[in-house]
Amino acid sequence: MKITRVINNNVIAAVDDQNHELVLMGNGIGFRKKLGEEVDPASVEKTFARFDEKWVRNFKRLAEEIPYEYMHMTNEIIDYAQLSLNKELNENVYIALMDHLNFAIQRIRQGVALSNSMLWEIKHYYNHEYRIGMEAIAIIKRYTGLEMPADEAGFIAMHILNSELDLNMELSKIMTRIIQDVLNIITYHFHIVIDEESLDYERFVTHLKFFIQRAIHDNESKIWDKSLMDMIRSQYLESYDCASKVAAYIQRTTPYRVSEEETIYLTVHIQRLQATSKRVE
């Protein structure tokens, strides 16, 4: 491999023997290096092979702003996540998670802890990713000595989840169409204008993405007990009726058969979304 760009002391760009572009990370890998020099493979700690120029610019910016041990720490967390999930994550997660952890550590050191409004849902719907978040907190403590709250495990889990949603182009188109159709069903059912800048909208779309992903891959979620389902069904009757319409639509457009538990799941989030939306007279 030959160096094509020295990004900083710890990050370089290079080309391999097949002329493929790479971004390489390693402690001191770029120190006093020049273009065209051979890369010592022993100095490489992480290789990135799928990226564009925007990714390189953002990675370079972060590499200049944060301590190298945070980069190494992020890499360890993502390696653990990939091993635990038995899948590769989108390389964009390195930038997103590195950026998040840098600011999170700064906040915690300043005594500022953010509450994660989606923590309950993350724990219950995406427990595997949440447990990865908890392991990430242990890794962060080992590197920094800081005790991070469980809310941060939830934030980390969301970054992992977003990376898992790295669908191919065809599936991305399907997901986009389904999201728009579901929002139209809700809009016409309640005669509302949904505020697309609201936290409730963002939360709903996030959960809808994972619901659709389960539908596409035919993975059913089971977390509700019968008494709670009965209570939600009776208390939010109109939202349950709307959720049933959404479930029927999902069944028409995917091979997935939506369970009653999934319909209740939708009911809760539709109720929250419609309750904060503007009515159309």
pLDDT at residue number 37: 85
Dmax of the chain from CA atoms?
70
Model pTM score: 0.64
Task: Assign 3-state DSSP to the chain and report helix, strand, coil percentages, each to 5.
Answer: 65, 10, 30
Q: Which two tokens stand for residue 182?
A: 């579901």
What would the two tokens of residue 75 be?
Answer: 């890499």
- Ordered per-residue pLDDT tens for the chain, 281 residues: 888 888 888 888 888 888 878 888 888 888 888 888 888 888 888 887 766 777 777 887 888 888 889 989 999 999 999 999 998 888 888 888 999 999 999 999 988 878 887 787 778 767 888 999 999 999 999 999 999 999 999 999 988 887 876 655 566 677 778 888 999 999 999 999 988 877 778 778 877 877 777 676 655 555 557 888 889 899 999 999 999 999 999 889 887 788 888 888 889 889 988 988 888 76
- Comparing CA positions, the residue from 249, 190, 262, 189 lying closest to residue 221 is 262
CATH superfamily of 169-279: PRD domain (1.10.1790.10)
Bridge-based pairing of strands 192-193 and 46-48 is unpaired
**Cα–Cα distance for residue pair 230/238, rounded to 1 Å:** 14
Domain borders along the chain are 2-51, 68-164, 169-279
Helix/strand/coil for 216 = helix
Dig out the tokens for 136 from the structure: 């990430």
Contact, 58 vs 95, CB < 8 A? Answer: yes
Best CATH choice for the domain 68-164 from the list 3.40.50.2000, 3.40.1190.20, 1.10.1790.10, 3.40.50.300: 1.10.1790.10
- CA gap 256, 74 in Å, rounded: 36
User: What was the pLDDT predicted at 254?
Assistant: 81
Same CATH fold assignment for domains 68-164 and 169-279:
yes
Domain 2-51 has CATH 2.30.24.10: yes
